[in-house]
Structure 1
Amino acid sequence: MASAQASPRENCALENHLTCSICMETFKDPVTTACGHSFCEKCLGCSLANGNKCPLCKKHQNNTPQVNIVLRTVVEQMIKTQHKDDKYTGAPGEVACDICTEQKLKAKKSCLVCLASYCPTHLENHSSTKRLKGHKLVEPVKNLDERACLQHGRPLELYSKKKETCICVSCMDEGQEEVVSTEDAWSNKKAKLENTKTELQEKVKKRRKQVDEINASLQSCKEQMENEWWDIEAVFTAVVNIVERAQETALQPLKERRQAVEKEAKDLIEELEAEISKLEKNISVVDDMSALEDHIHFLQSYPNLPEMDNVEDWTEVEFDTSLTFGTMRRTVNALLEEIQQELEKLTSIGKSSVQCCQDRDKTKTSRG
């Protein structure tokens, strides 16, 4: 069963316990004294040469202890684990050490003079060489070939102002003028970038100010329109109420006239129906008398015929269906006057809308 991989924090704590308190480096051939303290074999030997005492607790030591095999195994295992974490995997952002031959390790720094990248081990050799002390070391760079002159194979250490490109020292032999170091060119260009950045920030500041002004104008205009919205709605609500009242007023005479006409028609119809019934009754009596074949009985009954002079003459009777619209005209005129008064209130509302639009135009014209 494979053991779980230790976390970076655990590895760091373990490394602290496996550090020699004399050289402050990871144990090399660790030895453990009788008092329980551990040191590098060489470090402890040098310390005991000046007195047989433990460097930490100062207890007397009878002899030099042997290498602690278990502790050495732990140290070797820790170093293997660290090297495993430093292996180059080709993941994005990783740069391989150019000096490693077998198993490539991840580069810790890149040298812009040597045009090579170094893992921690080879970087230590590079830093310890006196003639390489002045080399420029930066964070690992993936494409160092782009930092070399493809024509002469040398580092790009100079900058040609005329061609606005980086060149090597050998390119100077070809008559390049106005040449400065890449550091100076970098400083000048960086200063220009800072100026450009300042200008851009100023433009951003101005535009943010305009955004704030537009938002403030928008908020003010929205509040104004909100107030006008309710004013306009109040006007038209009043107009609707006026129209509804006028409608009720205009229809009331018609309702009353309709009731009167219906009643008059009903009364006339009832009278006519009564007389029709009476006339039909007389017709029935006439029919019965006409059917008599007994002359004597016919003549004796004839004087009993109901009087026909009692029937009303309906030729002069008229059904009045005339309508009077004078009240309606007065109602309409009053309605129009009230509506006109309410609509005049919209004039003042329109003036404030114009002012709101003018403020918005002022915001537009201030664009810079």
Structure 2
Amino acid sequence: MASANTSWSEENLSCTICLEVFNSPVSTPCGHNFCSTCINNFWDEKLEYKCPLCNKLFHTRPDLRVNTLLSEVVDRFGMSVRVKEEPCVEPGEVPCDVCTGTQQKAVKSCLECFMSFCQTHLEPHQRVTVLKKHRLVEPMDRLEDRMCEKHDRILELFCKNDQVCVCLLCTVTDHKSHPVVPLKEEYEMKTAQLGKIEAEVPQMIQERKLKIKEIKNTVELSKKGADKEIADARQALTALIGCVEKCLDDFNQMVKERLKSTEKQAEDLIKGLEQEVVDLTKRMSTVKQLLHTEDHLHFLKAFRSLKDPPPNRTWSTVAVHPPSYEGALGKSLDQLEETLNVEMKKLRSGDEPKRVQKHKVDVATQLLPRVRISRPSLWLDD
């Protein structure tokens, strides 16, 4: 047994699945040896039972036998296979699915084994003839998410009709005759679309900010116009008797109500514009995140769930028209003064003071309701 021990190398004592020294080695009917846990786990994940080394197919799951001689040699050898030093997994890197303890960075993913391997555990795929035929790609995390749930094949195509990722078998079954393209091609097209949106959104935001500024300026002019009209009205109405002073208060209230209506309508418009700015800003943020996603599958899934853009409203024709006050009160007061003078001439002939005073009030009451201020106009051409 001593001579046998010296003739074995570390490679002879390593399981080709985990690349570690055999742990409870068992033999397959084809004569190859594996750790009991490794070969059982390997077959648990497969629909058919093949030898990982020679690819021999077994119609039923083989009855594995413990390799007593190999177990004894491993015990006497008394050492583990030296694993090459590799950097630990950094954020964003794919870990090796075979490493035990500290996981190392994967350098390749196998589309046949559905596993990712570090440089050390990739060695069987570079050495064993059968494993050399497996499809190796750049490291991918969550390989199970990349498999077709129906056919257990890698998702590598995109169906234009149904806007979903599909495998090769899907193109001859559920998606037969549907136009399909490689994931990369669809990824590039969608990226171009997002790039166009990213270029348009800042301009849309700027247009809305300018419109907000325009509306605020209009409201400010309305306030100045209202203040001036109130001052002019007060100067004219304070010259009248007590009944006209009451009309002054009514007039002031009327102007303020019109101004309040203008401000309210302008406020509603500004809120709508500001909300669109917020929505567009959020959308631009989502678009930028997607543009930094290099994972084709995750990108397309996220792109599909991306909300439709908010309806573009033409704001260029939106305007707030302040109410017009100019000259409205002056003409009415002139008419009132003229009427009062005519009535007073008639009363001077012999009517008593109380009757004259009452007549003034009656005339003012009849004329002042004629004073009108045009309502502010808020219009929008769609």
Same fold (TM over 0.5): no
TM-score, length basis structure 1: 0.35
TM-score, length basis structure 2: 0.34
Question: Greater CA radius of gyration, 1 or 2?
Answer: 1
Greater RCO (CA < 8 Å, at least 6 residues apart)? 2
User: Larger helix proportion, structure 1 or 2?
Assistant: 1
